[in-house]
Amino acid sequence: MEQAMRGFFLYLSRNKALTKVAKKYGLQFGAKRFVAGDTINLAVDVIRGLNNKGLDVTIDYLGEFIESEEEAMEMTNQCIEAIQAIGRESIESQLSLKLTSLGLDLSSDIAIQNMKRILDEAETNGVFVTIDMEDYSRCEKTLRIFKELKTKYDNIGTVIQAYLRRTENDMKELDAYEPNLRLVKGAYKEPKEVVFPKKQDVDENFKKIIEMHMLNGHYTAVATHDDKIIEYTKNLVLKHNIPKEQFEFQMLYGIRTEKQEELVKDGYRMRVYVPYGTDWYGYFMRRLAERPANVAFVLKGMSKK
């Protein structure tokens, strides 16, 4: 039942018509639990509140289904505006983005040129930028662009997904770039032949790549809400005397907030992934797919309308 519900929400996340409806009617029906607001000013207020609790942040201006260079340019401008706000307001935040929102599906050249504009502004303001990983069909393009940009910019990282069979080889190829990586389980519905089908296998691969990246001496962001993975990471760094300055935990805004604050109190760096913007629908549906129990919050929100 849970697997069927997950597939249902992932299907909804790719529905362009519903995305347009969601944009029209705004943040309603529980999405505010996971999305900071539809403007950068609202997001800044959320970031400042999190910073006051000792939490670091990475901000993401949500955007999917870019169909023109003009839309990609607008997304780029929004990212630059977010970077400038981080610098102006002196808040602790990085920036996360998706290459599809910058025109990847139009052409790699468009995405690269938009990324260079963003990274130049980020360098000026001392902001680190992470390229989010998307579905399998865009994985190779994303890694190729990351490698190209990493030779010119230091303030850039990307994401590796544990549920993909190709991940271990990708990690080995990336090692030469001394990358700052966010390691995640993965949240897209993919063909069976490219992913580990069983949760146990995904978890074991997740542990493997965490150990691999940390022992290679590279900065590691362990993005998980799973207590077992968190405890595994804590034990790993103790066993190998890995300094706390070499890694951090990451979680999503609105999920396990008490655990986030607990990690900070225990002396760990904890970063919250804070999305904002009008194009929140696809992101919201993937959160429901990851944890169908979140549907309860949606129903609660609908009952108040």
Catalytic residue among 182, 271, 286, 287: 182
Q: Are strands 247-252 and 270-276 parallel, antiparallel or unpaired?
A: parallel
Residue 132 neighbours by CB under 8 Å, 6+ apart: 60, 96, 97, 98, 158, 159
132 catalytic? Reply is yes
Contact 36, 275 (CB under 8 A): yes
Q: What angle do CA 67, 69, 74 make, to 5 degrees?
A: 95
Rounded Cα distance, 176 and 71, in Å: 34
Contact 44, 91 (CB under 8 A): yes
Catalytic residue among 132, 170, 203, 279: 132
Reduced to 3 states (helix: H, G, I; strand: E, B; else coil), residue 109 is helix
Rounded Cα distance, 89 and 284, in Å: 27
Q: What are phi and psi of 170, to 5 degrees?
A: -60, -40
Q: What angle do CA 228, 233, 239 make, to 5 degrees?
A: 125
Q: Which amino acid is at 38?
A: D
Query: Could you give the maximum distance between any two Cα atoms of the chain, in Å?
Result: 53
Q: Is the dihedral of CA 38, 60, 117, 94 positive or negative?
A: positive
33 catalytic? Reply is no
Residue with token string 């103790």 = 238
Contact 229, 207 (CB under 8 A): yes
Rounded Cα distance, 37 and 70, in Å: 23
**The pair of three-digit structure tokens given for residue 205, joined into one six-digit string:** 């691969």
Residues with catalytic annotation?
Answer: 132, 182
